[in-house]
Amino acid sequence: MAQYKKKQKPSVSAETVNEAEAVAKATQRPGQTKEQTKLIAQGIQKGIEEYKKRNKGKARELDKKLKKVSSQQPQTSDEVDEVIEPQNKANLLPWILLVVSWIGFAAYLGLAPMSK
């Protein structure tokens, strides 16, 4: 006779369970039974676990790619400076636009005829 093994449930963190229960209680409808709320909490818990699995996999893939790139091309300090420099220019654009708009506003107020 063949023996059947019971499926082992993956370990569930208490944090995930608490978070799922809190969301289920927050979205609870009037007249909803405790069993229904419990089922909703279980569904939310499964969704949270699936989300965490996917993110863990994506993070692992990203780490592998980063390690591969960093091992192929070690960055020197000059390369790091080149990467940082364009970001500083991008941060100046909003400030420049703000100053130009204020100058335009002041010119508009100065040139507009004053009517009483």
Kindly report, residue by residue over 28-75, the tens digit of the pLDDT.
Answer: 888 988 899 889 889 988 998 898 888 998 899 999 988 888 888 765
From CA 58, how far away is CA 64, in angstroms rounded? 10
Helix (H, G, I), strand (E, B), or coil: what is residue 82?
helix
- For 24, 33, 108, the CA distances from 29, given in Å and listed in that order, are 10, 9, 55
Phi, psi of 28 (to 5 degrees): -65, 135
Identify the residue with better confidence: 35 or 9: 35
Reported as a pLDDT band with limits 50, 70 and 90, residue 14 is confident
From CA 36, how far away is CA 32, in angstroms rounded? 6
Q: Could you tell me the pTM of the whole model?
A: 0.45
Reported as a pLDDT band with limits 50, 70 and 90, residue 115 is low
Averaged pLDDT of the chain: 80
